[in-house]
Chains A and B, each alone.
Chain A
Amino acid sequence: MRSLRLAALILLAAAQQASASGRLVARPVRLARRTASHAAQHMVMLPAGRYRPLYAPPGAERVAVAAFALDREPVTAGAFLAFVERHPEWRRDRVRRVFADARYLADWPAATDAGALGAQRRPVTQVSWFAARAYCASLGKRLPTVDEWEYAAAASERATDATADAAFRSRLLALYAGLGRQTAAAAFVNVYGVRAMHGVVWEWTLDFNSVVLDDDSRATGSGADARDRHLYCASAALGATDPSDYPAFLRHAVRAGLGARSSTSTVGFRCAADMVIS
């Protein structure tokens, strides 16, 4: 049943993608095979579309996002524990320091103990970008790009893009100010079926800081400039597509503050997957 439903979703997404790109014929779309069964359970298909990034490339206020699949919820501590057990090189007592700082999983009672069941159901935090990336790869997935993440996060329960809605913004600010006070289970599910994009944990993205893809972010020399170009003082408002989109600024600042080894109590992640057109 599940896989039938997944197939239907995929076709739907394909149709939407085709119409978005102006093609008339829907092409079959599928996820990489080893992701498929996992995806049916844990992932949601998002159709191709456009969204308005905080800092848009010159000449285009909205950028295109291809169809992709995204985890319904942030990865839980329990799921991450299973990963660590399968891949002991990611245990906190074995991880290489270049891949995670000293606070990596430091809140766990032990290297292979993520705490009581309640704690295991919560989103995992204190994981580095490297570890998050490895987790996703172990399931044939990857981290979502900033564009994908923001595209999914722009949705409210009813609208695919609620970012210009003052009430939605205000709600996000309140959620962020109380980050972690609400559980993922209590967080709202958006119109795509994605839960807890706001106010539970901040989330890693593949290209959270453009430096990271060039070097492993241990270097701060030339990268530091690009990284905080927009980050301090009123100059942050220069070039922003909407200087009143405070929630977007907050997310931007969070990403900019992170290095790829950073393991903090407020940052978790979820995975994404390509939709492969065959």
Chain B
Amino acid sequence: MYVYDEFDRAFLAERVAEFRDQVNRRLAGALNEDEFKPLRLMNGVYLQLHAYMLRVAIPYGTLSAAQLRRMAHVARTYDRGYGHFTTRQNIQFNWIKLENLPDAMAELAEVGVHGIQTSGNCIRNVTTDQWAGAVPGEFDDPRIWAEILRQYSTLHPEFTYLPRKFKIAITAAGHDRAAIKVHDVGLRLHRNEAGELGFEVLVGGGLGRTPFVGKSIRPFLPVRELLSYIEAIMRVYNQYGRRDNIYKARIKILVHEIGAEEFSKAVEAEWAAIRDGALHLTDEMIEEIRSRFVYPAYEALDDEPAEFTAAMADPRFATWFANSVHPHKVPGYSIVTISLKPVGAPPGDATADQMDVIADLADAHAFGEIRVGHEQNLCLPSVARRDLPELWRRLDAAGLATPNVNLVNDIISCPGLDYCALANTRAIPVAQEIAKRFADLDKARGIGRLHINISGCINACGHHHVGHIGILGVEKNGQEFFQITLGGRADEQAQLGTLLGPAVSYDQVPGLVEDVVATYMELRSGPQELFVDTVARLGVEPFKERVYAAH
């Protein structure tokens, strides 16, 4: 956990007081909507179809039990008893009244939680691997570097009015769980041959209307140079980024238009001028941040304690263990993913009661720490293996132990037309119906790892371009239609999916997905060949032939 200091808390309290005043002035008519809208957006407040929505950042996806409990309280007191965990490691409350927002924010601020940097053309909440600090084989804890970037970028005057929003993601493990290649800047922490720690720097990735996979502009940046180099990137972007056209304003368009090489040259030139200046990180600064991350007091424990071995005789526990539990860097401990995808439920939603249960379980079994991943699931990063049976029983009782992590019904879906004012089509009910078609989890396990991503419009909040199966809602003559892509992926081999064929109607989507999966089951070289690898080997043609012949 990161320990915030008094400055942060005082700042947040001031910020809430300021927003309270702005809300009062808006309600009294002293501010009109044009004046008020940018102010509310800077605090994470959107107006959706039928209510205001508050988006709250969960920096690098790390939450304390106390923070989660407070979120449950806010959901219960000011909202309709649930919250939605998003693909950007945020939580959204969908029904808060404007007049209650300052109170809700004040309660969240008391535990250090806020909506700053979740909206607007600034550097957004920096995201990272939800297993940071716990997964074996990591080069360093990426949250240290996310926190350094957070402190540097929060309310940075030069970066408050960028041409467009700016998203940074960091990974420090061999397997990228932070989707760094589809961010404006992606940072891959690793060691060079001399054993020094540094970043590979990627720029210009992104989804939305014009999707791109990020391009590497520097294979190795020593960690001490992180801020000066990012500043150089931001300056180049700030200077050359297109402010004239909102659809061309993201850095990905600039990088695409001038080419990664030219962009890199401009950055290097800018960097040469500032690299030895005030932004050079000293060991003391880095240690100061590092020292604020408090790690669990791990005990020396057995990897196969008696409680665990006994529980493995229960096939339900064993199934959950095989699906949702991952090895930890410390012997005797595990990383536990909590599926927020019970079959048929809205993906990523948790009720206030469930949040309380998870907070209690985190206190009892996981050093009071919870993580949020971009897959819209939660995670307990450090659980002693002897505690797993008890944890599982309690998760199961709360409907939080569906063993479907990374399976076909672990669907990532944006809110779509059921909430979002920009949507063409619904997304959540599509996810629910597909999940139900694969409700037999034994069968789903037989299919193996398969990520379905759904967005209700081209903004791609559901990351459909990088879904193994991507589903994008489009409108045709006032009806909901969906384009299907295959073969996208968001990890270290990031790739955009290929269009399967003509868009299909709402009712046809679940059947089409079933046909795609059936085709894969026939064509795969064996159970070890994942869906996305079969698509890579054969292309979309064989799928297209089968699927459209059937429809």
Partners in one complex: no
Interface residues of B (CB under 8 A from A): none
Interface residues of A (CB under 8 A from B): none
